[in-house]
Amino acid sequence: MKRFSFLIGIVPLGLILLTNCSNSSSGPDLARVEVGKGGEDEKIYIVDRTGKKWDVTHAKEKYGMEPGKFQFGLGPNAIRPILNAKMLSPGDEGYPDSGRQFLVLGTTLNGSTRAYPITIMSSFEIADEQFGDAHVAVAY
């Protein structure tokens, strides 16, 4: 039987509640449109909710897309990765009961085997890890 180490992470309850309690009647997040002043080189930008500007001039001029109807997600760097994950081995406090079943993302690299519960990875999506000398981004 292979030994697995399991990732333990803390997901703030508020984060879970906020991400699962969106008001679907309000519709998707639409972009705010800004037009840059520059004469003939006038640029069209959409601005996401983080304040980052995205140049959509080409999409408007070449393809006739309407910048005000662009949708955006959370913005860059909105989902924090797991850094310095704490792994548990069999016998450690908090290690899952052997009769418990759940989905994991597992890997073995450079002699180290690890398993990442999908319930945690679905909230973080990326775990920055080190397997021996190899630095790895485990992504879900």
What HEC string does the chain produce? CCCCEEEECCCCHHHHHHHHCCCHHHCCCECEEEEECCHHHCEEEEECCCCCEEECHHHHHHHCCCHHHCECCCCCCCCCCECCCEEECCCCCCCCCCCCCCCEEEEEECCEEEEEEHHHHHHHCEEEEEECCEEEEEEC
Tell me the two tokens of residue 50.
Answer: 């983080």
pTM summary value:
0.51
Report pLDDT for 37: 67
Report the distance separating Cα 55 and Cα 129, nearest Å: 34
Report pLDDT for 20: 37
Check if the beta carbon of residue 129 is closer than 8 Å to that of residue 42. Answer: no
Report pLDDT for 103: 93
Half-sphere exposure of 10 (CA within 13 A, CB side): 3
pLDDT (tens place) for every residue of the chain, 140 residues total: 445 555 544 444 333 333 333 333 345 667 688 887 666 678 999 888 778 888 999 999 999 999 888 877 776 777 889 998 888 888 899 888 888 888 999 989 988 889 999 999 988 889 999 888 899 999 88
Report pLDDT for 58: 93
Domain boundaries, the chain: 5-15+78-139, 31-69
Report the distance separating Cα 117 and Cα 96, nearest Å: 11
Report pLDDT for 24: 38
